[in-house]
Structure 1
Amino acid sequence: MTASQSPITDIVFDFCGVLVNWQCRAALEGRYDPDLVDRICADDDLLGFFHYEDLMDGGMLLEDVLPIIAREQGADIAEVYRDYIAHYGDALPSLIDGSLELLEDLDKAGYRLWGLTNWSGETFHFAFERFPELAEHLRDTIVSGTERLHKPEAPIYELAIARFDLDPARSVFLDDTVRNVDGARAVGFNGLVFSTSAQARNDLRKLGVTC
């Protein structure tokens, strides 16, 4: 921490890729033809599953998204998507290595810890159901689909500042997506791009955080 920086008091965490390991494939394998699973999970989003999830992350409900899928991909794929959402907990096979230990250490050190995630309000409950230990350390979490706001747009970070009573200059936001970190920095947060829990510890220490 440089002489011009204020001591850090609050740390805000993204979920998928930072705290929770999200794997679309894990909710589909063993129940669908492997070729179909490969098409759904392809990086170029051949069947639009990542796009449709993004619509739900922005606040659309499953019942509103399904007709769009049926129109664009066919009724059979819409039913696969419905089933995928029903089994969404299976897409969360584990916590990110070292993430729980990082939360525990920061909590013990007295930092206030929060969540801020792009996630559907209809499926976010799976995160705490599968990993209740996260709720033991996070004081509150803002979910984009519930708020109908979306990272990296400024209003969702401004909501976090108001709801969590944050001073962004004394707060750190961690996300594995560069554009989301840039969005946080634009409203005054110390933003860190997450790669691993070990790297996050090193980056936090450079800001004067004890972890």
Structure 2
Amino acid sequence: MTPSVVVFDIGGVLVDWQPHLAWSDAFDTHEDVIAFMERVDFSARNLRGDTGEKFADMALELDDPEDQKRLAAYVPNYAKTVEGAVAGTWDVLDDLKAKGVPVHAITNWSAETWPEGLRSHPRLGEVFETLVVSGEEGVIKPDPKIFQMLCARAGVTPADCVFIDDSPKNVDGAKAAGWDAIHFTGADALRAALEQRGLL
């Protein structure tokens, strides 16, 4: 069955997320920022944030008081991390909408930082017919529950959906949930993949 609706991931597909920029003023060099992020296991803690945990609470788990302050500062400094858009993808989304293709989104995004994302990119709050934000739901991709949630809210079946994500793990999760899925590597390749499916 050919998919009839398109479901976007947001970070890394529509919004250029650069988390290290949250600490660009806190360290002398980029290498120092990366060392801090590795030291506090930011990647794992960010995923916990995407499930609804608060960064201030996670900061208290750290032994070093300075690292505690730095991690807790992620939320107030978040706007610095999402200033840019991914080149070309918004044009693809707009062309889908112009053709009347329903467009939805599932994003792994902290409930604490999502309001900053909306302030930086107001169209995120307007362009999708159905939007599922993991931090507001307490479940993250690639858990099948989040794909089921989108289907239930949008009134569609897995066979109706093609999902776009820059994470191979999340692409595999969508496929496991019965969806078609596209691994996002750039706007041109995405456009070609959607054209092959007759959606553009």
Q: Which residue of 2 aligns with 1:17?
A: 12
**Gapped regions of structure 1 (runs ≥ 5):** none
Q: Which residue of 2 aligns with 1:64?
A: 57
Counterparts of residues 25-174 of structure 1 (less than 5 Å): 25-34=20-29, 35-41=31-37, 45-68=38-61, 70-71=62-63, 74-174=64-164
Q: 1:187 to 1:173 in 2, by over 3 A?
A: same
Q: Tell me the distance in 2 between the aligned counterparts of 1:58 and 1:122.
A: 11
Q: Tell me the distance in 2 between the aligned counterparts of 1:150 and 1:140.
A: 16
**Structure 1 residue ranges (4+ consecutive) displaced by more than 3 angstroms after TM superposition:** none
**Gapped regions of structure 2 (runs ≥ 5):** none
Q: How many residues align?
A: 199
Q: Determine helix, strand or coil for the equivalent of 2:20.
A: helix
Q: In the alignment, residue 203 of structure 1 is paired with which amino acid?
A: A
Contact 1:59 1:146 survives alignment (8 Å): yes
Give 1:102 deviation, angstroms. Answer: 1.1
Q: CA RMSD in A?
A: 1.5
1:141-195 Cα offsets, whole Å, 9 max, x none, are: 2111110101111111111111111222121100011110111111111111000
Give 1:133 deviation, angstroms. Answer: 2.6
Q: Tell me the distance in 2 between the aligned counterparts of 1:84 and 1:149.
A: 21
- Normalised to the residue count of structure 1, the TM-score between the two structures is 0.88
1:95-142 Cα offsets, whole Å, 9 max, x none, are: 100011111111111011111011111101122211113333212321
- Normalised to the residue count of structure 2, the TM-score between the two structures is 0.93
Q: In the alignment, residue 33 of structure 2 is paired with which amino acid?
A: V
Determine what percentage of the aligned residue pairs are the same residue: 29
1:29-81 Cα offsets, whole Å, 9 max, x none, are: 1342224313135xxx233122211111122123421222x23xx12111011
Q: Which residue of 2 aligns with 1:182?
A: 172
Contact 1:102 1:197 survives alignment (8 Å): yes
Q: Determine helix, strand or coil for the equivalent of 1:120.
A: coil
Q: Tell me the distance in 1 between the aligned counterparts of 2:110 and 2:124.
A: 18
Q: Determine helix, strand or coil for the equivalent of 1:195.
A: coil
Q: In the alignment, residue 37 of structure 1 is paired with which amino acid?
A: V
Contact 2:4 2:101 survives alignment (8 Å): yes
Q: Tell me the distance in 2 between the aligned counterparts of 1:139 and 1:33.
A: 43
Q: Determine helix, strand or coil for the equivalent of 1:85.
A: coil
